[in-house]
Amino acid sequence: MMTRLFGSTLVALTLLSGGALAAERTVRLTVENMTCETCPIVVRQSLKAVPGVGYVKVSMAEKSAVVTFDDAKATVAALVEATTKTGFPSAQQQ
């Protein structure tokens, strides 16, 4: 009985989630045009404004940003778009 209840609950949760389970994902972006102390702050704010983004660390010295996000709510393309719109074009590091 308990196994049947658990299985039914799991199926219901999967259906409610649209069939896909969200995963936390971390990417490193190269970020252009950071030339002053306030640039990393602007880049960080633009990335944090993307729904699903949890953690952001921006390094002016390395010209990069490390971003952890929920891949059911955000995409790398959305992160790149967010920085680019604020004047800091970025791309995912391979």
Confidence of residue 94 (pLDDT cuts 50, 70, 90): confident
pLDDT tens digits, 24-59: 999 999 999 999 999 999 999 999 999 999 999 999
Residue 61 has pLDDT above 70, yes or no: yes
Say how far residue 87 (Cα) sits from the centre of its chain: 19
Query: Whole-model pTM?
Result: 0.77
